[in-house]
Structure formats: C-alpha cells, structure tokens
Amino acid sequence: ITDIRKKFDDFSATVNNDIQKAQQIHDEIVSYTNLISQNAVLLRSDTGYTNVKWFGATGDGTTDDTNAFNLAYQDALNKKTNKIYIPSGSYVVNFKNMLIKNFEVEGAGREQTFLLQQGVDPLFDVKSFSKIHNLAIHNLNSTTTTSIVVKNSDAVTSYYNIRLENLSFQGSETVGYES
C-alpha cells in the first residue's frame, strides 16, 4: 500500500505540475490575443469590398456624399471586388445611373442604411448578375419617379440573375423596367 500511495502522490504531483504549465500557456495565449486585438491592422484589400466611408462619405443626412460614392464605385471596379458596402447612416446622393453590372451594392440593413436621392435620374442602372440589398432609398425630389432602373440598353446585356433584396422605398415608384 505504501508503494501504491507513493505512486499516486507522484502521479498527482505530475498532474498538478502539468495543470500549472497548461494554465501558464493559456494565460500567455490570452495575453497575446489581447495584444493582437488591440493593435491589429486590417488592410482594405483583405475585405473583399469597398466601403463608401473610406472615401469620405459621412452618412450624416445633410452632407452630399455623391463624390465619395463615385470614388468608391471606381475603386471597386479597379480592384475588381465589384462590391460597395454602405454602413449605417443617411447618405445624401445625387449620382445618376450608376451602372450595376456583375456588381453588388450592400447596406447594413433597410432600417439602418438610407440613400437620400436628390437628383431626378435613377440612382442605379442595373444589368445582369447584380445585386442591390439591405438598404432604403428615400426620394427627396418630387419629380423623380424611379430610383432603380433595370434596362436592356444593348443587345448583349439582358435581365439575367438580378437580385433586389431587403429594400424599402419612399417617394418614388421604386423599380422601373426599360427595354
């Protein structure tokens, strides 16, 4: 019995030592994780989209954010990410017929991302393989009737795989179709 008790005590001491070592390793991992979280850098190129705020959009409901949207659109095309992300906010915009072909425009949600349309022309000219979703379009100009136009303006492009999802409209006839 004395030998068994000694072996058990030795085993218990080994286990306790291993537990202490494991706790030290765990604490180091937590410390490094916190350090990385506080100081990490996420490159824009790692995101897979272009954020309109990167180009100066304010989303404050009063500043004209048209230029930021145009710059973000060009950036997405140049990087071939073909996606614009619009965070929560109210964006005053006056661009016209932004071509959305094999492209995606995504907001944070139709209760959170609002495009305040000032111009008389439709905001988006939607072509094939495109998606506009999770935003609201409020028309501020009483003479504008359409916010998004889906049109077949050339013989090559037609209406394939176009998705308009989780959108809300105010003050316009929402989506128009032209051939």
Task: Indicate the average pLDDT of the chain.
Answer: 79
pTM: 0.67
Written as one string, the DSSP assignment of the chain is: -HHHHHHHHHHHHHHHHHHHHHHHHHHHHHHHHHHHHHH----GGGTSSEEGGGGT---EEEEE-HHHHHHHHHHHHHHT--EEEE-SEEEEE----EEESS-EEEES-TTTEEEEE-SSS-SEEE-SSEEEEEEEEEE--TT---SEEEE--SSS----SEEEEEEEEESS--EEEE-
User: Which segment of 8-22, 86-100, 152-166 scores lowest on mean pLDDT?
Assistant: 152-166
Range among 90-99, 101-110, 124-133 with highest mean pLDDT value? 101-110
The pLDDT score that the predictor gives to residue 62 is: 94
Residue 157 clears pLDDT 50, i.e. is over it: no
Q: Read off the pLDDT band of 65 (50, 70, 90).
A: very high
The pLDDT score that the predictor gives to residue 150 is: 64
Higher pLDDT, 20 or 100: 20
